Amino acid sequence: MPLDELYHEAMNENRSFFDRLNHWTRTSIGLKIFIIGFLVLILLIPVSMVEDLIYERQQYQQNAIEEVSSKWGTEQTLTGLILSVPYYTYNTVKNDDGSEKLIKKKQVAHFLPDQLNISGNISPEKRYRGIYEVVVYNSTLKISGTFEKPNFKKLNIEASNATWDKATISLGLSDLRSIQNEVQLNWLKEKVYFEPGLKSNDVVQSGISANVLTDSVTSSYPFELTLEFNGSKGLSFTPLGKTTIVDIQSNWAEPSFDGAFLPDTREVTQEGFNAHWKVLHLNRNYPQQFTGGIQVRPSDFGVRLIMPVDQYRKSTRSVKYAVMIISLTFLIYFFSQIKTSIRIHPIQYLIIGLALCLFFTLLIALSEHMSFYLAYFTGSISIVVLITSYSYFIFKNSLLTKVLAGLLVMLYGFIYIIIQLQDYSLLIGSVALFVILGFIMYMSRNIDWYNIGNDS
């Protein structure tokens, strides 16, 4: 056989192999499913980048909050009042020569109030650092109550060893820079002014103190003061009284009560809230009188001023459904391809997947400048219009394109409902996935998967 004929025969055999390979790649259902699954996995990369973007924006927001709070006033904890009375102990020790020496040592006994009443208001306001909103507040509190006569007998201390004229009263506050008034204490009908700093750090680490008159005769010491200060995020109280009563009101409509004790009564409306606590000394794990250091912070309670909308939290929850959105959208295209003679290239799947990922970036960016509801609506409609327009040129069929648009609208609407109904999201999501799976089974019930490629 001539060489040129052998050459043409070999070329025909090669062309036949590539033709068969091309036909297999265009008609193999298994290959299409594998490619779609592979593309879904590839698209997890931009989805993870979106999650990193949300975390980064959250950090920017937190930095803005910390910056404003550091200048205005941080989250405050009010601890007080504490009556501290120095006393001396005497111990006899023997010297090397057998003689005795008397050692005198100064210590401090602390007494908590018999009755502690705190009432006042929290006046919040919004400050801005760039595009970020920060909630700060000004609070005016009236603190009153009584101290019973210090009972050294319960501490096994001789009352005669106490230095009554050196007694101090302490008031703990987390951030002293935020105090807005000259703090004046009415003690035994006398006016005493607080000074910065504490005489003892046994109970609190930050606060103000004042010298007060005490003696071994007076049976009780009534007190009263007004404290005005700034803060942010929240306000907590330490129930030091044998009976502690706290009444707080504010025009903030989104409070979050936390700590060791919830309010006994509370009323929250669109105009604000009122909360009332009553805590007994039996409800906490430290005594009314003690010496040395003690931990009182575990008994703190109070209120936090939370933001009514946290767009990053909702955006994070939206991204968790990214795989479902991409998979279901690809599934719609896949069944459209099976039911019709339309052929969709993997590159077209990839472009559609990237458009779906773009939705989450749009959502994050828009929600920083408008309400989350409006941002979600704007972003989802934009993506639906974009994908629908692109799909029209793929399908060349207006009815099929309208069906796709309707399904995408339903999908984004379903995701929004799940985000809003946080408590029922698992139930609704499970039921919806059951319905979707049932719909897929119904749509594919008559498909002869082995002969799809042969019919093409």
- Show the CA angle centred on residue 251, arms to residues 228 and 307, nearest 5°: 100
- Helix H or strand E segment including 182: none
Amino acid 34: pLDDT: 81
Per-residue H/E/C for 386-454: HHHHHHHHHHCCHHHHHHHHHHHHHHHHHHHHHHHCHHHHHHHHHHHHHHHHHHHHHHCCCCCCCCHHH
- 105 or 9: which leads in pLDDT: 105
Amino acid 444: pLDDT: 67
Indicate if the pLDDT at residue 24 is higher than 70.
Answer: no
Asked if residues 121 and 226 have their Cβ atoms less than 8 Å apart, the reply is no
**Tokens standing for residue 266:** 């509370």
Other Cβ atoms closer than 10 A to 335:
14
| pLDDT tens-place string over residues 152-180 | 888 888 888 888 888 999 999 988 888 99
- 18 or 223: which leads in pLDDT: 223
pTM given for the model: 0.71
| pLDDT tens-place string over residues 238-278 | 999 999 999 999 999 889 999 999 999 999 998 999 999 99
| pLDDT tens-place string over residues 113-141 | 999 999 999 999 888 777 777 888 999 99
Amino acid letter, 297: R
C-alpha distances in Å from residue 276, one per residue of 100, 249, 273: 58, 9, 10
Q: Of 233, 249, 200, 237, whose CA–CA distance to 78 is shortest? A: 237
Spell out where 115-253 has E strands. Answer: 115-129, 132-148, 168-173, 184-187, 190-193, 195-196, 207-211, 220-232, 234-238, 243-250
Residue 270: what are its φ and ψ, rounded to 5°?
-70, -20
Helical H segments across 28-131, by residue range: 29-72
Q: Of 112, 244, 226, 241, whose CA–CA distance to 169 is shortest? A: 112
Amino acid 171: pLDDT: 94
Give the integer Cα–Cα distance in Å for 351 and 353. 5
SS3 343: coil
Amino acid 423: pLDDT: 64
CA 420 from centre of chain: 16
In this prediction, residue 7 has a pLDDT band, given cuts at 50, 70 and 90, of: very low
Asked if residues 67 and 134 have their Cβ atoms less than 8 Å apart, the reply is no
**Radius of gyration for the chain, computed over Cα atoms and rounded to the nearest angstrom:** 36
Using CB atoms within 10 A of its CB, is residue 109 exposed (0-12), middle (13-18) or buried (19+)?
buried
In this prediction, residue 456 has a pLDDT band, given cuts at 50, 70 and 90, of: very low
What value does the mean pLDDT take over residues 421-448? 71
Amino acid 27: pLDDT: 60
Contacts of 401 by beta carbon, 8 Å cutoff, 6+ apart: 388, 391, 392, 395
Give the integer Cα–Cα distance in Å for 367 and 365. 6
In this prediction, residue 55 has a pLDDT band, given cuts at 50, 70 and 90, of: confident
What value does the mean pLDDT take over residues 345-372? 87
Say what percent of the chain tops pLDDT 70. Answer: 87
**Tokens standing for residue 212:** 């007060």
Amino acid 15: pLDDT: 53
What value does the mean pLDDT take over residues 200-206? 87
**Tokens standing for residue 230:** 């700034």
Indicate if the pLDDT at residue 4 is higher than 60.
Answer: no
Q: Per mean pLDDT, which range of 31-40, 182-191, 239-248, 350-359 is the poorest? A: 31-40
DSSP-assigned beta bridge partners for residue 196: 208
Residue 233: what are its φ and ψ, rounded to 5°?
70, -55
Long-range pairs for 125-134: beta carbons < 8 A, 24 or more residues apart: 127/68, 127/72, 129/64, 129/65, 129/67, 129/68, 130/64, 131/368, 131/369, 132/60, 132/61, 132/64, 132/65, 133/307, 134/64, 134/65, 134/68, 134/69, 134/232
Indicate if the pLDDT at residue 447 is higher than 80.
Answer: no
In this prediction, residue 455 has a pLDDT band, given cuts at 50, 70 and 90, of: very low
**Tokens standing for residue 78:** 């009010």
- Give me the domains of the chain, ranges plus CATH numbers: 27-60+312-455 (no CATH), 74-307 (2.60.40)
Query: Is the peptide bond preceding residue 112 cis, with omega within 30 degrees of 0?
Result: no
SS3 247: strand
Indicate if the pLDDT at residue 21 is higher than 70.
Answer: no
Give the integer Cα–Cα distance in Å for 70 and 64. 10
Amino acid 2: pLDDT: 56
In this prediction, residue 382 has a pLDDT band, given cuts at 50, 70 and 90, of: very high
| pLDDT tens-place string over residues 277-321 | 999 999 999 999 998 888 888 999 999 987 655 778 888 888 888
In this prediction, residue 194 has a pLDDT band, given cuts at 50, 70 and 90, of: very high
Indicate if the pLDDT at residue 183 is higher than 60.
Answer: yes
Amino acid 80: pLDDT: 79
Using CB atoms within 10 A of its CB, is residue 221 exposed (0-12), middle (13-18) or buried (19+)?
buried
Amino acid 116: pLDDT: 95
In this prediction, residue 453 has a pLDDT band, given cuts at 50, 70 and 90, of: low
